[in-house]
Amino acid sequence: MSEQSTLVIAVTGLNAIDSPGPGVAVIRAIRDGLKRPVRIIGLSYESLEPGIYMDGICDKVYQVPYPAAGSDVLFNRLVYIHEKEKLDLVIPNFDAELFSFIKIAPRLKQLGINSFLPSFEMFDARDKLNLYAFGQKHGLLVPKDRIIYNTDDLMQICEDLSYPVVVKGKFYDAVVASTLEQAHKAFYKLSAKWGLPIIIQQHISGTEVNIAALGDGEGSAISIIPMRKMYITDKGKAWAGITIEDESLLDLARKFISATKWRGGFEVEIMMTAENELYIMEINPRFPAWIYLSAGAGQNQPATLVKMAIGEKVEPFKDYDIGKLFIRYSWDLITDVSSFQQISAFGEM
């Protein structure tokens, strides 16, 4: 591959909605930061994902099967797309699809499609179901939790953890419950949506801080950007945020990368208490939706991941701009029904 050849990159997570996927932000960062021609192939799950229709984001979009269809179905679809597009790299951006992508990564590599993903072992270590044990093992603060498959012990668990508790879905969503009734309701709502088990977690009050980071797979941190949420939606998503300077946050991310030898991008969700304790609430195994801020702050993580994925040597970033803000906005995009028809009927556009 010559220096100036066009790099063909497939990206998922085009749902730039109120609880956005990271795909559009990842693509923006790659287009901004990769000093070479790129062709972006969007991979969508639904016909109304805004990233399908946004100008200057995807050069071509293909629908892909939902993770529930299994990794072989996904692999076959990617083979079809590869035959047409000659993919160099694929960047999955959803928690729920990562298992399948990690599983088929060696087969994709044989076809010449690179990826830069954690191993199953790394992926499992930060899973919500294992996070407390992981924290205990590595000296990281994680709220106490219990994993449940039914509501038999719910009353006792809530009393043990003391109210309020956080009821969390297996993949997404969390509800703060102040009473047993609320905890019951949240259990059924979240299990109906995301399946079992459900996590009941100790509630921690404080300031919400997130970290976006990139590990090289050998235990070193290539980039770490801490962000304080300034405006939070009713779904708990950052609608505005600012980069901050706090060595303890950088240390925490370094500790996680060193412990797991994390390969790829990830996000740590932290609650900073009034006593300056840093509780890890969740670790998401992919870039966050606000990842474009990393480019704005001088450490373009998606573009750097692309370089690492195609085998370029990169040096760890040293500095970033403190006090850089992102403010998300909504925008009514007008398109013709023919575009919607095209992606709905043919699964590509």
Q: Specify the residue, 179 or 207, whose C-beta has the smaller distance to another protein.
A: 207
CB 287, min distance to another protein, A: 20
Q: Does 242 bind another protein (CB under 8 A)?
A: yes
Instruction: Write out the binding residues for another protein, residues 246-285 only, by CB under 8 A.
Output: 246
- 232 touches another protein (CB under 8 A): no
E-only strand ranges, 273-332: 278-284, 325-327
Contacting range for another protein; rule: CB under 8 A; set: 29-37, 239-247, 288-296, 334-342? 239-247
**What residue type is assigned to position 246 of the chain?**
D
* CA–CA distance, 31 with 312 (Å, rounded to integer): 17
32 near another protein, rule: CB under 8 A: no
Q: Residues 178-217: x/- map of binding to another protein (CB under 8 A)? A: -----------------------------x----------
When binding is defined by CB under 8 A, the residue of 83, 218, 245, 277 that contacts another protein is: 245
Size of the site for another protein (CB under 8 A): 12
* Per-residue contact string for residues 292-331; x = within reach of another protein by CB under 8 A: ------------------------------xx--------
DSSP label at residue 86:
-
How far separated are the first and last CA of the chain, in Å rounded? 27
244 binds another protein (CB under 8 A): yes
Of 168, 170, 228, 286, the one binding another protein by CB under 8 A: 228
Pairing label, strands 221-232, 238-243 = antiparallel
Q: Calculate Rg over the CA atoms of the chain.
A: 20
191/243 with CB nearer another protein: 243
Could you tell me which stretch among 39-47, 140-148, 243-251, 260-268 binds another protein (CB under 8 A)? 243-251
Q: Which is nearer to another protein, 58 or 249 (CB)?
A: 249
Cβ-Cβ contacts under 8 Å for 65 (sequence gap 6 or more):
73, 74, 77
Residue 231: CB minimum distance to another protein, A = 12
Backbone angles phi, psi at 142, to 5 degrees: -135, 135
Q: Within 10 Å of residue 297's Cβ, how many Cβ atoms?
A: 25
8-state DSSP, 69:
G
Provide, rounded to whole angstroms, the least separation between the CB of residue 227 and another protein: 8
Nearest Cα to Cα of residue 277 among 139, 129, 125:
139
Which residue in 181, 215, 236, 242 sits closest to 304, CA to CA?
Answer: 215
Q: How far is the CB of 272 from another protein (least distance, A)?
A: 8
CA 270 – CA 277 distance, rounded (Å): 10
Burial of 177: CB neighbours in 10 Å, binned 0-12, 13-18, 19+: buried
Of the two residues 196 and 322, which places its CB atom closer to another protein in the complex?
A: 322
What is the binding site for another protein (CB under 8 A)?
207, 227-228, 230, 241-246, 322-323
